[in-house]
Amino acid sequence: MSFILAMTNHALLRPALAVLTVLGFCIYLLLNRRDERASILTTRLDDKIPFWPAFSIPYLLFLPYLLFITIYGVMASDHYAHIAASALAIQLAAALVYYLHQTHMPRPVVPRLGLFNRLTTFIYSHDEPYCAFPSLHVAYSVYCAYWSAFLFPYAAPALFVLTAAIIASTMFLKQHAIADVLGGLLLASLSLRLLG
């Protein structure tokens, strides 16, 4: 009887970790709210980065990329505990920063003409411009690239290109400042170094 119970508990471990990790991503939604005290971290260098709505495509690919690497990694790889732990560490550390020091990213007015402009408007309407530092798009994209090297080594070069495009998209869509990107890179690096 104890053997059956142990097997049941083991069989439930990965699905439970996958659900917990995906639910952890939702913490961002709870904190991404208007805050009058939010800081703006843009600099003159940020102002020189052009606004390119075509980057809405890689930006929108972020969520499927994150969910696929996370769910597949937790459910089907030997690295499942490290994948879940590093994802949760990224989310919890970012949430603490958002809670203690909210940031805001000013956005341009987007014309409604053209597919890429409409996609950018869709992004803006579904993602408030808060919780900018550190960038979770950046941190989780680096996390995905790192774990994809273990999960899909043959596809890793293409996924590294996707990761770079997602990171660039955060700046070209005016979703994040350079400081946010650097914060996301640092957050991912620390998380993966400690838990990867």
For residue range 30-68, list pLDDT tens digits in order.
888 887 788 999 999 999 999 999 999 999 999 999 999
Phi-psi region of 103 (alpha: psi -120 to 50; beta: other; left: phi over 0): beta
Report if pTM > 0.95: no
Residue 195 has pLDDT above 80, yes or no: yes
Which residues 6+ apart lie within 8 Å of 149 measured at CB? Answer: 156
Which residues 6+ apart lie within 8 Å of 107 measured at CB? Answer: 124, 129, 174, 175
Domain limits of the chain?
2-195
Percentage above 90 pLDDT, the chain: 80
Residue 5 has pLDDT above 50, yes or no: no
Using one digit for the tens of pLDDT, what is the confidence trace for 140-153?
999 999 999 999 99
Using one digit for the tens of pLDDT, what is the confidence trace for 88-108?
999 999 999 999 999 999 999
